[in-house]
Amino acid sequence: MNRIKKGDQVIVTAGKDKGKKGDVVRVLGDKVVVSNINIVKRHTKPNPQANQPGGVIEREAPIHVSNVMPFNPASGKGERIGTKVLEDGRRIRVFRSSGEAVDA
């Protein structure tokens, strides 16, 4: 079970954007793309077939999953995630500090 999923709010713990918060847009194996985090400039050639203009385009680059932590709105900071098995056999993600469910 992945600790971080699409749609989670995370806080960056390392790198040039340390301390910033954002939502996970995409999960790519052991990397995640977070909205408005790790912005890079990409120089692209125009592609008339895809109706894409050329120039310098800013977009989010992937960041390693070890450099982000799920954000707990109750405590106001990033916290570690664990898993808990319910009575009916389902597994849920919980914050390790408080034990409350992440997906609640």
Q: Where are the domains of the chain?
A: 8-95
pLDDT surpasses 60 at 104? no
Percentage of the chain beyond pLDDT 90 is 85
The pTM assigned to this predicted structure is 0.83
pLDDT surpasses 90 at 43? yes
pLDDT surpasses 80 at 100? yes
pLDDT surpasses 90 at 99? no
Task: Give CATH for domain 8-95.
Answer: 2.30.30.30
Per-residue pLDDT, 47: 93
Q: Cα–Cα distance between 51 and 91 in angstroms, integer?
A: 45
Count of C-beta atoms within a 10 Å radius of residue 65: 18
Contacts of 20 (CB under 8 A, 6+ apart): 11, 12, 36, 37
pLDDT surpasses 70 at 6? yes
